[in-house]
Amino acid sequence: MKQLDNKINKIFLSLEFLAPWLIRLGLGIAFALHGLGKFPLPPEGLSNFLGSSLASFVAISELGAGLILIIGGFIKGPVGNLATRFAGGTIAIIMISALSLAHRDWFITTKLFTSEQIFLLLIGLYFLLRGNR
């Protein structure tokens, strides 16, 4: 069993760097597309719920956070690290707000843990806490 484990580890060792990129790209693209889908500004449906100014801010924040998360991964050093943390924090704030405003009845129910929203929040928190490390 140990030999099999060692062989598998050897195979995947050279691909390990892809793991955070898969998560980064998935979340970044998802947020950018969600934000872009709210254009042209102000987003009509969301404006009815939040008002046009806040709805426009949400759309721009989603688009920006997604793009910054992806771009931050390409920037080495403290600037890239801070960009990644900023994007992760922005995503976490957006998702906490969305859950608090639109899905209050989901808290501590199976609906929360079977929805994609909780995973978007958790991955945002991951990048906030980890940055580019």
Count of H helices and E strands in the chain? 7, 0
Q: Is the pLDDT of residue 114 over 90?
A: no
68-72, 82-86, 97-101, 105-109: range with lowest mean pLDDT: 105-109
- The answer, yes or no, to whether residue 106 has pLDDT greater than 70, is no
φ and ψ at 113, to 5 degrees? Answer: -85, 0
pLDDT tier at 116, thresholds 50, 70, 90: confident
Give the pLDDT confidence of 6-43 residue by residue, as tens digits.
Answer: 999 999 999 999 999 999 999 999 999 999 999 999 88
CB-count burial class (<10 Å; 0-12, 13-18, 19+) for 48: exposed
pLDDT in tens, 27-86: 999 999 999 999 999 888 888 888 889 989 999 999 999 999 999 999 999 999 999 999
Take residue 32 and report the two structure tokens written for it: 């950018």
What pLDDT, on a 0 to 100 scale, did the predictor assign at position 9?
A: 93
CA–CA dist 98, 104 (Å, integer):
9
Per the CB < 8 A criterion, the answer to whether 98 and 90 are in contact is no
To 10 degrees, what angle do helices 52-74 and 77-102 make? 150
